[in-house]
Structure 1
Amino acid sequence: MSDALPAGVEHREIDGTERLATRGEPVYGEPRDGEWRAWNPNRSKLGAMLELEMDTSLAGEETVLYLGAASGTTVSHVADFSGPTYAVEFAPRPARDLLEAAESRPRLFPLLADARKPETYAHVVESNVDMLVQDVATRGQARVACENARFLADDGRLLLAVKARSEDVTREPSDVFADVREELESAYDVLETRRLDDYHTDHLGIVARPR
């Protein structure tokens, strides 16, 4: 395993298996080892990117804007080791679960908003965030990332999980990924890409920095 994990993220033996883990209150009944909670890469694209040893540049204590927070499965882990973490979710039902996950995490700030309309939360999210993490299952995933690039610091990073089937279920995922990358390059330099199929079928992980 790579030792290039953020501070506050470790591989721990939990239930007899070495697992990615963060220190925090449980959210979805995950296995635990004392104060450490297992981070399941099969339920988290960012967790999969870390397990696949992608160079995310996460070090711990970063300011994070997380798009597509859903019920808080991944963003709760992020808030366990990061600094201020702004979690954008559009759907009211998972947002209620997200609010519950935030109760024990003073650095996690849930926002009921549409990631396709960053102007609706620009008055809340601080500028120059260190990390933009995106897991939004919608058409136009590259467009969302480009429109939210305004929040990133010059040396910040985009950590994007692209779901091919959300873009077009009729096309080959590799063709979808090529189009997403091309559109991204209007706002970002792409540093690394990797298929996440070991954990998430027809997904691509992308690490990029703003131009």
Structure 2
Amino acid sequence: MSERGRGDRRGGMSRGGRGGAVRGNRGGMGGRGGRGGGGDRRKGREGNNNRQAKKKGGSKVIIEAHRHRGVFIARGKEDMLVTLNMVVGNTVYGEKKVVVEGSSPEEKKEYRQWNPFRSKLAACILRGIRDIYMGPGSKVLYLGAASGTTVSHVSDIVGPTGAVYAVEMAHRPGRELIEVAKIRTNIVPIIEDARYPAKYRMIVPMVDVLFADVAQRAQAQIFSINASNFLKNDGHFVISIKASCIDSTVAPSTVFSKVRDELIENQFKPIEQISLEPYERDHAVVTGVYRPSKKEKAPE
């Protein structure tokens, strides 16, 4: 299914690079003179049409469901990854919005651009990861939440029936995370050190998915201790690995292999590994299952 929407007034569609939005042409004034000069009538009409579309909110786009549940593609002049905004009218980091009007104000839908240059999870989706294991109703423990950029999109994905337990150690981004959580009620901000999960064991239940973006040398150990406390058997994991933060003296591929081996030793079963180039240099994401059930042999 697809829906027709319109872009945010801030300009045309872009892929979400660091440079921000790329504004559309204003179109010439044309006609009898004006600022556009004395162009012919056809050019004048084209300029007027462009202005009218801009007043209505920008160029039209079509919203298509992505194969990952809760994730969408906005097809327009340039395609972009979006999530359905759980809090209509709210933005978290200045991202663009696409609005789909309904027959009544209650049916209005709003989608938020998901920038892969600011989110490892968005980057791995655009790189073609097979599964992120999150969807409506999922309970996610997120380590390394920072100020809540990616957390807010996970909040959109899991929706009002799901929950995101967002752990961040640093107090400055933690304050911003708390502000995001005041509006997005399915986010539980936890300003604690992820190395000590006992400090938040009374807050976090058993979860379906463990996600980590923790740029520390002991990342695998931090990930493992949180999994042993909170991740269900047969639950899934997504871990973003930054090679230079673990060992900058060897090749990134060597670091990734070492982290995978550590995960396997701690009862994780990696299923997929994917590089985040060109969005992030020397980064990889590994996904898989935790403490998988042993399949019973079929009777002979």
The equivalent residue for 2:244 is 165
Pick the aligned partner of 1:107 from 186, 189, 196. Answer: 186
Contact 2:65–2:73 (CA under 8 A) maintained in structure 1: no
Q: How big is each residue's C-alpha offset from its partner over 1:43-71, in whole Å with a ceiling of 9 and x where there is no partner?
A: 11111121122122223220000000000
The equivalent residue for 2:278 is 198
CA RMSD of aligned residues (A): 1.6
The TM-score normalised by the length of structure 2 is 0.67
Q: SS where residue 11 of structure 1 aligns?
A: strand
**Structure with more strand by fraction:** 1
Aligned AA (2:140): V
Q: SS where residue 79 of structure 2 aligns?
A: strand
- What are the ranges of 5 or more consecutive residues in structure 2 without an aligned counterpart? 1-63, 100-109, 292-300
Question: 1 CA distance for matches of 2:134 and 2:124?
Answer: 11
The equivalent residue for 1:49 is 124
Aligned AA (1:132): L
Structure having greater relative contact order (Cα 8 Å, sep ≥ 6): 1
The equivalent residue for 1:21 is 82
Pick the aligned partner of 1:153 from 194, 216, 232. Answer: 232
The equivalent residue for 1:40 is 115
Aligned AA (1:139): R
Pick the aligned partner of 1:75 from 146, 151, 157. Answer: 151
Q: SS where residue 184 of structure 2 aligns?
A: coil
Contact 2:243–2:256 (CA under 8 A) maintained in structure 1: yes
Q: How big is each residue's C-alpha offset from its partner over 1:152-202, in whole Å with a ceiling of 9 and x where there is no partner?
A: 111211100001111122221111111101101022011111111121110
The size of the alignment, in residue pairs, is 208
The equivalent residue for 1:5 is 68
Question: 2 CA distance for matches of 1:166 and 1:155?
Answer: 29
Do the aligned partners of residues 93 and 59 (structure 1) sit closer, same or farther apart at CA in structure 2, a change above 3 Å counting? same
Determine whether 1:66 maps to 2:142: yes
Deviation of the 1:205 alpha carbon: 0.5
The TM-score normalised by the length of structure 1 is 0.94
Contact 2:275–2:283 (CA under 8 A) maintained in structure 1: yes
How much identity, in percent, do the aligned residues show? 42
Aligned AA (2:154): V
Question: 2 CA distance for matches of 1:147 and 1:121?
Answer: 13
Deviation of the 1:2 alpha carbon: 9.1
- What are the ranges of 5 or more consecutive residues in structure 1 without an aligned counterpart? none
Q: SS where residue 103 of structure 1 aligns?
A: helix
Contact 1:163–1:202 (CA under 8 A) maintained in structure 2: yes
